[in-house]
Structure 1
Amino acid sequence: MIALIEQYPQLISLGIVLILTMALLWLIQHLMIRYGKRLLGFISRSELWLRRHIVRLPLMVRLQDKYPATFGFIAQRFSRGHFSGLILTVLTLLNIYILALFAGLVEDIVEADSIVTTDLFVSQHMSVLQDSSIVPAFIFVTSLGSTPITCLIILLTAILCTAIRQPYILVGLLISTIGSTTFTFLSKMAFQRSRPIDILLMEHTYSFPSGHATISIALYGFLAYMAIRFSTHFVRQVRILSLTILLCLLIGLSRIVLNEHYLSDIMGGFLVGILWLTIAISMTEWLTARGKINWRIIWSASQRYMVWFSVIAVLIATFIYANMYQFPLLG
């Protein structure tokens, strides 16, 4: 190990990034498990208190008397009693914010801002690791975001949703995956950014945004949302969220280590994935509000076995894909 680090000093930086990322996720998970419920309760009570006091303000009373229809419409947007109220408002504002971040990132890349300098710096350092022994591990991780594996996961999820008689969940899954993939493809065609020079696994598509980073959020994020919705234990929900974030970060990091993408490509892909994941969750919650989806089902033993079989099948398929398709590209 010491000899490997001496040969590739960049491994120290990579190791520090991984350790800090995992430590930060563990700390956030620990704090959420310990204080999450109390924090959510405090936010809920504060929101109710604030709403009651705002509507009693003299200005608000005058506006309500003068513009009752407009005031009623705005009040409905912050109502917690239905999906088209506070939930939809928060999701819409989140989407607008994500689009603004994506637009700002695109502007920085087009104008060759400091982010481009950072991209080149990181790419040059990662190109040194192409002959190191960590490459196979990152090839396996990056294969989890490949098209064949994502298609397999979607197929297995469709079978599972059919088995538990919740087919409408697939609407959100398809919106998240197909929408994000289409958006990424059109963005690649629009910006036509070349990939790093020292690319390890030859790709024939453009660089920005990263399709692997996009699908990691859009697909695995939606699967995590499904698992959280089906679960009734808060601690388990927090752990599912933490593990999913770690997986998405590892897939994004694998694209940088293998020099398939620049850092800003990964950031752009994550933003696109979050955008479409939010849209998909909005649609799924709307279907839930209309009674099309029931998250409180009782899972049979065979259905639980089906979930674990699907996880094992995906891991085996990823290993086979990495060895039969990805590793030959190294030559």
Structure 2
Amino acid sequence: MKRKLGWMFVFFLLLPLIGFISTTYLVSNGKVLPFDEHAINWVKTIETPALTKVMLFFSHLGSTGPVIVISCMFLIIIYILYRKFDEVVLFVIASLGSTGINQGLKFLFKRDRPLEQIVKETGFSYPSGHTMAAVTLYGIIVFLFWRHIKTVRGRTMLILFSSLMIIIIGFSRIYLRVHYPSDIIGAFLLSGIWLYLNIWTYQYLMEKRYDKEKK
């Protein structure tokens, strides 16, 4: 059991933390710009009016208003179906914390957005707020509903749906040229760390409460 926990710690916390620190260093020193520009130039080659509309739609799903609406819907579903107030609290803390961390880091790094934007976005660029919100939202949805879905088919559909939403929302920000690819990578890594810490803390507290009730 201890060996399993050790591998989980390395895979879900230590490696992403090293990755985020490395990405942040490269971004802060401008060393990742050639990679960013090369990736953006490739994305330009697949632009079409129809695809732009699709990317605008998914990008909108990752913005503040829709995220709040989707979050409230899932909060209501979780509470009505399972009557788990502690899961509602976890959902709220993870979501609000992700937003707070993102805004704090944006003002810390003050990275400007790409100049040639398909849609106009203001504010700073690193890390991507839409991507962090998507990873946190759909990641916590997977964790909470996985615990209650018993069928392999149901769990597979849950993972596929959430993974696609995260990937497409992240890619849409690059496609619309409101973020550099490194903004998305940093957001993936950071929100993954934040998600892991929330889930680990939640499980630790639940186990402590269970052990206390057994005594």
The answer to whether structure 1 residue 145 and structure 2 residue 68 are counterparts is no
Root mean square deviation, CA, Å:
2.3
Structure 1 stretches of 4+ with a deviation exceeding 6 A read: 128-131
Q: Which amino acid aligns with 2:159?
A: L
Q: 1:205: which partner in 2?
A: 123
Query: Aligned to 1:134, what secondary structure does the other structure show?
Result: helix
Q: 2:38: which partner in 1?
A: 121
The answer to whether structure 1 residue 283 and structure 2 residue 201 are counterparts is yes
1:172 shift after superposition? 1.7
Q: Which amino acid aligns with 2:176?
A: L
Q: 2:166: which partner in 1?
A: 248
Q: Which amino acid aligns with 1:118?
A: F
- State whether residues 168 and 287 of structure 1, in contact with CA within 8 Å, keep that contact through their aligned partners in structure 2: no
2:78 aligns with one of 158, 161, 168: 161
1:167 shift after superposition? 0.9
- State whether residues 79 and 88 of structure 2, in contact with CA within 8 Å, keep that contact through their aligned partners in structure 1: no
Q: 2:112: which partner in 1?
A: 194
1:99 shift after superposition? 1.5
1:1-331 matches, within 5 Å, as: 78=2, 87=5, 89-93=6-10, 94-113=12-31, 115-127=32-44, 132-163=49-80, 164-289=82-207, 290-291=209-210
Q: Which amino acid aligns with 2:194?
A: W
> Normalization by structure 1: what TM-score?
0.58
Q: 1:7: which partner in 2?
A: none
Structure 1 residues 197 and 128, CA, compared in 2 at 3 Å: closer, same or farther? farther
> Which runs of 5 or more structure 2 residues have no equivalent in the other structure?
211-215
Aligned equivalents of 1:184 and 1:218: distance in 2?
A: 11
Q: Which amino acid aligns with 1:135?
A: T
> Which runs of 5 or more structure 1 residues have no equivalent in the other structure?
1-46, 48-77, 80-85, 292-331
1:130 shift after superposition? 6.4
- State whether residues 129 and 135 of structure 1, in contact with CA within 8 Å, keep that contact through their aligned partners in structure 2: no
1:92 shift after superposition? 4.1
Q: 1:316: which partner in 2?
A: none
Structure 1 residues 175 and 92, CA, compared in 2 at 3 Å: closer, same or farther? farther
Larger radius of gyration: 1
- State whether residues 91 and 278 of structure 1, in contact with CA within 8 Å, keep that contact through their aligned partners in structure 2: no
- State whether residues 175 and 276 of structure 1, in contact with CA within 8 Å, keep that contact through their aligned partners in structure 2: no
